[in-house]
Structures are given as structure tokens and as C-alpha cells.
Amino acid sequence: MSRIRRLGFAAIVMAAMLVGGAPAFATEPLTTSGHVTDPDGFLSDDERTRLESEAESLRSTYGTIIDAVVIPNFSDQEPAVWCQATLEKSRTAEKGILYVVSYEDGTDSYCADAQFARNLTTDPSLKRIFDDALASARNNYTSSPLTSDAVSAGISSFISDIDTAIYIHAQVHRHNVTMQQGQDSRNKDDTTRIVIIFIIAGGLLILTLFLELRAKLREQEQDDGRDTKSADLTPLVDPVRREALRLAAEARRRLSEAEEQVRAAEEDWNFARAQFGSAAAEQYGRRLEAAKEAIARGLDTHKQIEQTPDSHAKRRLATTITEDLDKNLAPLQDARKEFAAQREKRSSLPTQLADARERLVEELADLERSKEELSSIAGLYPESMLASLQDNPQRAEQLLESARAALETAGAHLDTDATRAASALDTAQRALTMANAQTDAIFSAKTDLDAFRERLISSIGSVSATLTEVKQLDSSDVFSPLLDEAEAAITRGQRALVSDEDPLGALENLRDVELRMDAILAPLMTQK
């Protein structure tokens, strides 16, 4: 009986776990793999790729390995203890730095190989730099649990700060070595001169006193040299240097991001060529090549940044990289968006085709109604006032027939040639729009004729004002043909006011000219 109760209790526990979800299991120390170890796949592929690129850039530049581990929790251990246990199982135990972060509670820590750990113990300034990098990473951890964006930003911040610190230490070390070599050379030369002087002097007291005085002067020079050395190191930490290092790090980050964007764009370009044809994707290809060349230039320029000691030069070169990338990557992104829009449009071709066919049926019905409307108003107004409408039904009928043929072509090639189907559908849509304008002119004729004088006077005044503005803003002959059309439209409108000769045609002509003039007036006003 007790056995049955135990089995029942176990079944209840299993059911509770299925309903409520099993508790999160603790994460034991593990062996890292690559620059970013994410056993649960918490980070996205793009985030992981970007972080690995930043860490690999640091390794290839300075030979320093930084690996990161993203886990849910530290198994109730102190983060530093967990970090050390994982370090000992991984490649960073021999040489490298390990950064670990738990996304459930937002805790993190770092640890390093034995030699680097000793350096951190004996060099307070280095320890402070690493602690600052850790604090900077934690500034991104404002939520609990953390999001993948926050974790990615924290790891990137830690790598970037360590990168900057290593660069500064490398510059200081190089400076110290150069100064020491110069000092050793001077000491060797001084020793040689002292031996020669003592041999020549032969114990003369005056020369001995002279040598003592010379020695004192040399000691003073050495003190001055040490002061100069200390002063020479100051620029390494001044604001100009810090800003130059920041811009250099930002330029390197932008280059890494640009390389990822270009790789994605190249895949998209190959897809676009297969989908739309090489000719359609030709401009896309040129923009892709321009972006690749900008990245190549940026990488070469970044090498110059690493080799020059001048902070102002570093800042100028870093700015050159970012400006070049901004100039060439934006058109590439625009090209990707354009083809994405075309793909979306193509995917909706069946829906657009169905809508256009429905619209054709509606326009054919409107055509018949417009014929009846034209016959109705013919008895109300003189023939001269309706002159511009007489051919509208015929033109609308021709346009609708053209639309019908284009829709048949689009339907026939919808599954076999999407490019031809899209072109035919566009032709049909344009024809439908133009046919609609012809019938709408008939339906609005009575309203326009009842108040044609007021509307003509208003349109003439508006076109005259726009004409004057265009002439004042642009004195060249670029817009002369359109301005001539505007003057002719004004003259025709004035004639229609006097003689009632085709007022609808005159009004339509004025409206068309005004629309086109407004299109060129807006840019001229902006330039002013």
C-alpha cells in the first residue's frame, strides 16, 4: 500500500512539473568553446557573431584572448569562484581573460591566467582599469532578468574597455623601452669619456676638480631627463589622447559591423540577381563594391592609427573611416530596402491582379454611365462649352481596352515570369487611372459649368501668382517651356471667360499646369 502511495506521489510531482514547468537547473562550471560560449542559445546569431568579431579583432591585434560565457546562473557559487573553475577547464587557463555573466540575476565577474592575475595583483592601475571595465559592463544591466541586447552590450563594453587599456599599456611600454635604450646609450658614452679623461688627466688636481664639477652637472642632467620622461607620459592620459582612443575604438567597431552588413548584402544581391535579373541588380552591385572598397580603405587607415603616436592624427584618421563608411553604406542599405519592397510587391501580385480586374469592371460600368451623363448635359449647355468632353468616352474606352489586354498578359505570366507580369499589371493600373480621369471629368461637368467663371478666375489668379514666383526664384531658361505653357493656359482661360469657349478644357488645362509648376516651386523655395 505504501508503495502505491509513493508511486502516486511521484506521479503528482511529475504532473506538477509538466503543468508548472520544471525549475531552472543550476549551471556547473564548463569548458568554453571559442570567444563566446552560450550553451542555452540566449544570444541571437547576429549578436554572437558581432561579439566574436570584436574579440577576434583584439586577439589578432594584441595577441590577447578574451572569452565570454553567458549562462542562466552560477549554481549558488560566487561569480568569481565559478569563473575561476571554468577558466581552469578552458584555453584561457594558459593565456587569456574570461568574462562570465548570468542573465537571470544580472551578476558577472572576470578572471585571468596565472601570469595576468599576478600582473593585476602587482599593478594597482591595471587592476583599476579592469574593475572600471567591469563597472562599465554592469551599466547595461538595468533589468532583471537581463535581455539578450543588454548582455550583448555589456560584453561588448567589457571587450572595448580592455582593448583600450591594452593599447594604452602597449604605448606606455614602448615609450619606456625607447627612453631606457636612449639612457643606456648615453651612460655608455659617458663612461667611455670618463675613462679617457682619467687617463689623460694623470691625477692632476685641477682636472680632478673639473671632473667632479662635470659629474655634478651630469647628475643634474639625469634628473632633468627623468622629469622629461614623466612629462612625456602625461599626454597618454590627457583628454585628447582619450578622445583619440575612443574614436579609434569606435572606428574599429564600425568596420566590424560594416563587414557583417556587406556579407549580408552580398547574399541578398546574389538572390536579387537570381530573382530580378543581373541588369536590374546592376546598381545594387556597384553600391556593394563601393562599400567593400570603403571597408578596405578603413582597414588600411586603421593600421595607420595603430602606428602613429600623434593623438590628433589618430582622431583625424578615425573620423575619416566613419565618414567613408557613412557615405558608402547608406546607399547599400537603400538598395537592400528597394529590393525588399520589390519582393513584397511581387508576393502580392495575385491580390493586385484580382483588385485590378474588379476595378476594370467598375470602370466599364462608369463608362456607360458617363455616356448617359454626357447626353443628358448636352441639352443644357451650348456645344462650345462641352467641346473638351466630346472625346472623353472614346478615350476612356480605348484605355480600358488597353487595361484589359494588359491584365490578360499579367495573368498569363503570373506563375512563369513575375517580372513581365508585374510590368503588365503596372500598365493596366495606369490605364485604369487615366480612364477614370476621363469619366470623372464628365461626372463633374455640371458642377464645374455652374460655377465655371468663379473657378476660372480663381485658377487664372493662382497660376499667375505661381508663374511670378517661379520667375523671381529662377532666372534661367530651364523652366521656359513650362512657363510658356502657363502663359498660354492663362490666355485660354481669359478667352473662355469672355466667349464661353470650352471653359471646361481651359479649366482643366490651368489645373494641370498649376500642379506641374507647384512641383518645381517647392525645391526652389527650399533653396531660397
Q: Is 496 domain-assigned?
A: yes
Give pLDDT, residue 18: 38
Using pLDDT thresholds of 50, 70 and 90, give the confidence band for residue 511. confident
Residues 391 and 512 in one domain: no
Predicted confidence (pLDDT) at residue 281 exceeds the cutoff of 50: yes
Domain that holds residue 327: 239-347
Position 22 in a domain: no
Residue 50's pLDDT is 92
Residues contacting 30, CB < 8 A, separation 6+? 37, 39, 69, 71, 86, 89
| Pairing, β 97-102 against β 108-112 | antiparallel
* 326 and 390 housed in the same domain: no
Res 3: pLDDT: 42
**Plot region of 69 (φ>0 → left; ψ -120 to 50 → alpha; else → beta):** beta
Instruction: Tell whether 278 is covered by a domain.
Output: yes
What is the C-alpha to C-alpha distance for residues 353 and 427, in angstroms, rounded to an integer?
12
Instruction: Write out pLDDT tens, residues 476-497.
Output: 777 888 888 889 989 988 888 8
Q: Are residues 430 and 506 in the same domain?
A: no
Shared domain for 41 and 166, answered yes or no, is yes
Structural domain contains residue 99: yes
* 324 shares a domain with 244: yes
Beta strands 66-71 and 97-102: pairing type? parallel
Same domain, 438 and 489: no
Same domain? For 293 and 383 the reply is no
The mean pLDDT of 80-95, rounded to a whole number, is 90
Whole-angstrom distance, CA of residue 53 vs CA of residue 238: 29
pTM for this entry: 0.37
What are the pLDDT digits (tens) for 282-305?
Answer: 898 899 999 999 999 999 999 999
pLDDT band at 10 (very low <50, low <70, confident <90, very high): very low
Of 413, 428, 444, the residue that ends a domain is 444
Which range, of 39-43, 99-103, 278-282, averages the lowest pLDDT? 278-282
Asked if residue 491 is part of any domain, the answer here is: yes
With a CB cutoff of 8 Å and minimum separation 6, the contacts of 506 are 456, 489, 492, 493, 495, 496
216 domain-assigned: no
Residue 296 placed within a domain: yes
- Note whether 70 and 160 are same-domain residues: yes
Report pLDDT for 413. Answer: 83
- Total domains, the chain: 4
Q: Do 119 and 79 share a structural domain?
A: yes
Q: Do residues 61 and 92 share a domain? A: yes
pLDDT at 469 over 90: no
pLDDT at 145 over 70: yes
Residue 225 belongs to a domain: no
For residue 214, what pLDDT band results from cuts at 50, 70 and 90? low
Query: Does one domain contain both 382 and 423?
Result: yes
Alpha-carbon span 111 to 121, nearest angstrom = 12
Q: Which tens digit of pLDDT belongs to each residue from 369-392?
A: 999 988 888 878 777 778 878 888
At which of 144, 174, 204 does a domain end? 174
Indicate the average pLDDT of the chain: 80
Q: Is 16 a residue whose pLDDT tops 50?
A: no
Same domain membership, residue 373 and residue 417? yes
Answer with the one of 444, 478, 509 that is the final residue of a domain: 444
More confident residue, 138 or 15: 138
CATH number at residue 131: 3.10.310.50
